[in-house]
Amino acid sequence: MIRTIGVADIEDLARGAAVLGTGGGGDPYIGGLLAAQAIREHGDVTVVTLNEVPDDALVLTVAMMGAPTVMVEKLPSLDEVTAPVHGLATYLGRPVTHIACAEVGGVNSTIPIAAAAALGLPLLDADGMGRAFPELQMVLPTLYGITASPLAFSDEKGNIGVLQTVDNTWTERIARVACVEMGCSVMISGFRMSGSQSREALVPGSLTRCIEIGRGIAAARREKADAVARTVELLGGREIFAGKVVDVHRATTTGFARGRARIDGGEAQLTLSFQNEHLIAEADGTTLATTPDLIIVLEHDSGEPITTEGLRYGQRVRVLAAPSDERWHTTAALAMVGPRYFGYDFPPHRFDGTPEVIAAAEAVA
Amino acid sequence: MIRTIGVADIEDLARGAAVLGTGGGGDPYIGGLLAAQAIREHGDVTVVTLNEVPDDALVLTVAMMGAPTVMVEKLPSLDEVTAPVHGLATYLGRPVTHIACAEVGGVNSTIPIAAAAALGLPLLDADGMGRAFPELQMVLPTLYGITASPLAFSDEKGNIGVLQTVDNTWTERIARVACVEMGCSVMISGFRMSGSQSREALVPGSLTRCIEIGRGIAAARREKADAVARTVELLGGREIFAGKVVDVHRATTTGFARGRARIDGGEAQLTLSFQNEHLIAEADGTTLATTPDLIIVLEHDSGEPITTEGLRYGQRVRVLAAPSDERWHTTAALAMVGPRYFGYDFPPHRFDGTPEVIAAAEAVA
């Protein structure tokens, strides 16, 4: 269990976050740069567990919204990262006490570290998903009735907005079009929670888990052991495919990086479909795993995670599937983040390849 | 000079506003319905002149943003009209003292009346343009350094947003995409001004002028006189064309009603280009008038103003050109609302057909 995050922790944490980020969340190296800079300027970040947060805390999530492909060319400043928190604190008329991660994923695990350092606030060892998802309402807090709004969004030019919407999907819709107009990458802060609410709605231990995974990969490499196998073990998942990337289709549309990648394994071909994150893995007509479980692409030998925008022709990769937080498998959760929501007309499958029980019931109905 | 606005004034005021609205601002009848309902429920609206506003007043403009073509089918409620003012008052932490019109035009002259009635606040006998323009930053206050933001926008579902932007063009850009996402019609409130600022930046006497023009047309009809000629006289303008509408192209794109209308006058043809408002009048290669001066289409005999969305094949119309507020003819103003800004590659012409002197100087450069 981690108690602080210093510059030396960033590389492992960002690598582990990129694994759990299932291809989304942006380049972990870029997010890491920003967090390291903030820690150098403002000191190490204090990490508190969900059990330690006072009931009456005022927790806010901080994240980047937009297409990670854009952020590679448009690195945010520390002022930009803290702007939506300041904007929201003014709007709420109460000081913020804790920062939390909305998701796990390269940039969106390290931006909250940068924000916590720059603001001098403790960071929760937790996040809103235990993985990454492309749309703002797709967090466990939504399922617990926590509103995304008031939500603040800001850009590098100094523009800032605060939304108060009727539900979290409307926050997503309005913030998304604003994000696209503002250059496809904005900083957001919202999902105001008390300490008690955060205990109920967040995934505990996410930052510790990221560092463990990141360190595991680094240690396996030092020991000349199989880094991918080590990761499979840490995730409690399975390796579903190995091969060479032979085709990548990618387009940045309506603020998302959407696409498909084909991986040639000799005897079979794997197709990965993604929208910021990998959502579907199928090989020759068989569904191997789907959202909400985790589909992860790692470099074949080093075990280094590869983001969807990092996929290139000729890369030798291994693909893992791993379980998500169990709360993602309820009917309400599957309606929000299952394959059908993303436009794929087939039932969700767990990481071990079995169809969701709930999906079977729905097929009968 | 008017001192109050009651239900009996609405019809004349809305008709006059539709004349000065140069085809934009939406259906005056629909805007009138809303104002009349508000006055019936809350009493007459007190009108104050710019000279009477206290220096330390907190003046806010209220308006509808979006495509008037949409509003015909989606009439706002009184709660929707007052929501952005309440939202902004909360954000500012100070009570609003006066309501003002951002522009003159069917809906946007009557919505502030509805808001003032429902909020129990006095309304300024003034507006931000002396006409109507399609984009939010296109008001004289922008030229006087008054910021559109903080600007609140709200829809009929209960969604509300507050923007704080780096300039008024960014307010327009972000509010416009939000407006489109929210159904192409939102209520906005912004351009916070003190009493002294409103005296400097607004056009005085607009509501009185609207009522005078509306009454003039009604009186001319009663007297079997020429209502169009009466309007020309009241505006200090000229009649530039008469004929039959033979062609109307119209598309609602990116939140605006854009299009072109052709009017056949027998010997010549007039082409009107519009984006919510009429912007260019040209006949057989000759520019008769352009924005920022006023181009107004009236029904041939009754003198009733016709909005751009009300233009229909076969209508017999007369077209007027009239001078705008002189402050619209500076270099900065013409850069903001001249024909080139709207994508027409020729110099601005005054209502009397003469090229702008400033445009001639720019042509040499």
Judge if B60 and B136 occupy the same domain: yes
Q: Is residue B211 part of a domain?
A: no
What pairing do the DSSP bridges indicate for beta strands A45-48 and A123-127?
parallel
Judge if B267 and B346 occupy the same domain: yes
CATH code of residue A272 = 2.40.390.10
Count, residues in chain B: 365
Judge if A49 and A120 occupy the same domain: yes
A364 pLDDT higher than 90: no
Judge if B265 and B353 occupy the same domain: yes
A130 pLDDT higher than 70: yes
Domain stops at, among B150, B174, B206 = B206
Contact A159 B159 (CB under 8 A): no
Strand ranges, E, within chain A:
4-5, 45-48, 59-66, 98-101, 123-127, 151-154, 160-164, 185-193, 203-204, 238-253, 256-264, 269-275, 277-283, 286-290, 294-299, 316-322
Contact B157 A170 (CB under 8 A): yes
pLDDT tens-digit readout, A146-188: 999 999 999 999 999 999 999 999 999 999 999 999 998 899 9
Q: Is residue A233 part of a domain?
A: yes
Q: Residue A318: left (phi > 0), alpha (psi -120 to 50), or beta?
A: beta
B29 pLDDT higher than 90: no
Task: Give the whole-angstrom CA distance, residue B44 versus residue B320.
Answer: 33
Task: Give the whole-angstrom CA distance, residue B89 versus residue B106.
Answer: 26
Task: Give the whole-angstrom CA distance, residue B149 versus residue A336.
Answer: 35
Judge if A58 and A99 occupy the same domain: yes
A-chain CB neighbours of B163 within 8 Å are 159-161
Q: How far is B188 from chain A (nearest CA, A)?
A: 14
Q: How far is A255 from chain B (nearest CA, A)?
A: 13
Contact B166 A177 (CB under 8 A): no
In a 3-state reduction of DSSP, which class is residue B79? helix
8 Å CB contact between A317 and A62 = no
The residues on A that touch B, with CB distances below 8 Å, are 87, 91, 157-166, 170, 173-174, 176-178, 180-182
8 Å CB contact between B162 and A159 = no
Instruction: Report which of residues A85 and A346 the model is more confident about.
Output: A85
Judge if A133 and A235 occupy the same domain: no
Q: Is residue A218 part of a domain?
A: no
B-chain CB neighbours of A180 within 8 Å are 177
Cα dist. A26→A74, B2, B144, B182 in Å? Answer: 12, 60, 42, 29
8 Å CB contact between A81 and A110 = no
Q: How far is A180 from chain B (nearest CA, A)?
A: 9
B361 Cβ neighbours under 8 A, 6+ residues apart:
none
Which residue from A165, A170, A181 is facing B174, i.e. has the nearest CB? A181
List the one residue out of B320, B358, B346, B344 whose CA is nearest residue B131: B320
Query: How many A×B Cβ pairs under 8 Å?
Result: 59
Q: Which of A136, A149, A177, A182 to mutate to test the interface with B (most CBs of B within 10 A)?
A: A177
Give kind and range of the element (H or E) at residue B250: strand B238-253
Domain stops at, among A143, A171, A206 = A206
Mean pLDDT confidence for B244-273: 90
pLDDT tens-digit readout, A309-332: 889 999 999 999 999 999 999 999
pLDDT tens-digit readout, B128-186: 999 999 999 999 999 999 999 999 999 999 999 999 999 999 999 999 999 999 998 89
B-chain CB neighbours of A182 within 8 Å are 174
Judge if B173 and B322 occupy the same domain: no
What pairing do the DSSP bridges indicate for beta strands B286-290 and B294-299?
unpaired
Judge if B193 and B235 occupy the same domain: no
Tokens of B166: 């780096």
Q: How far is A228 from chain B (nearest CA, A)?
A: 44
Q: What is the DSSP letter of B308?
A: G
DSSP of B7-66: HHHHHHHHHHHHHHTTT-S--HHHHHHHHHHHHHHH-PEEEE-GGGS-TT--EEEEEEEE
Q: Is residue B83 part of a domain?
A: yes
Which residue from A157, A160, A177 is facing B177, i.e. has the nearest CB? A177
Q: Is residue A220 part of a domain?
A: no
Q: Is residue B215 part of a domain?
A: no
Task: Spell out the SS3 assignment of A65-120.
Answer: EECHHHHCCCCCCHHHHHHHHHHHHHHHCCCCCEEEECCCCHHHHHHHHHHHHHHC
Tokens of B93: 């932490």
8 Å CB contact between B261 and B272 = yes
Mean pLDDT confidence for A43-57: 98
Contact A160 B157 (CB under 8 A): no
Q: How far is A269 from chain B (nearest CA, A)?
A: 40
Q: How far is A133 from chain B (nearest CA, A)?
A: 22
A363 pLDDT higher than 60: no
DSSP of A338-365: SGGGGT--S--B-TTSPBPHHHHHHHH-
B-chain CB neighbours of A157 within 8 Å are 166, 170
8 Å CB contact between B140 and B202 = yes
Domain stops at, among B206, B234, B267 = B206
Location of structure tokens 């930046």: B201
Judge if A193 and A232 occupy the same domain: no
Segments forming the whole domain that contains residue B253: 225-364
Flag the least confident range among A45-49, A116-120, A256-260, B177-181. Answer: A256-260
pLDDT tens-digit readout, B205-249: 999 999 999 999 999 999 999 999 999 999 999 999 999 999 999
Contact A161 B159 (CB under 8 A): no
Number of domains in chain B: 2
Contact A163 B163 (CB under 8 A): no
Judge if A61 and A198 occupy the same domain: yes
Contact B182 A163 (CB under 8 A): no
Judge if B191 and B235 occupy the same domain: no
Tokens of A294: 């985790």
Task: Give the whole-angstrom CA distance, residue B339 versus residue B352.
Answer: 16
Q: Residue A68: left (phi > 0), alpha (psi -120 to 50), or beta?
A: alpha
Mean pLDDT confidence for B334-349: 92
B313 Cβ neighbours under 8 A, 6+ residues apart:
B245, B246, B247, B248
Q: What's the complex ipTM?
A: 0.88
Q: Which of B80, B153, B164, B179 to mutate to test the interface with A (most CBs of A within 10 A)?
A: B164
Per the prediction, chain B carries an average pLDDT of 93
pLDDT band at A100 (very low <50, low <70, confident <90, very high): very high
pLDDT tens-digit readout, A261-284: 999 999 999 999 999 899 999 999
Q: How far is B159 from chain A (nearest CA, A)?
A: 4
B-chain CB neighbours of A163 within 8 Å are 159-161
8 Å CB contact between B238 and B232 = yes
Judge if A101 and A233 occupy the same domain: no
Q: Is residue A211 part of a domain?
A: no
List the one residue out of A112, A190, A93 whose CA is nearest residue A151: A190
Which residue from A159, A161, A166 is facing B161, i.e. has the nearest CB? A161
CATH code of residue A143 = 3.40.1610.10
The predicted structure's pLDDT at residue B26: 75
Cis peptide before A292 (omega within 30 of 0): yes
pLDDT band at B72 (very low <50, low <70, confident <90, very high): low
Q: Report phi then psi at A359, rounded to 5.
A: -65, -40
B68 pLDDT higher than 70: no
pLDDT band at A90 (very low <50, low <70, confident <90, very high): confident
Q: Is residue B44 part of a domain?
A: yes
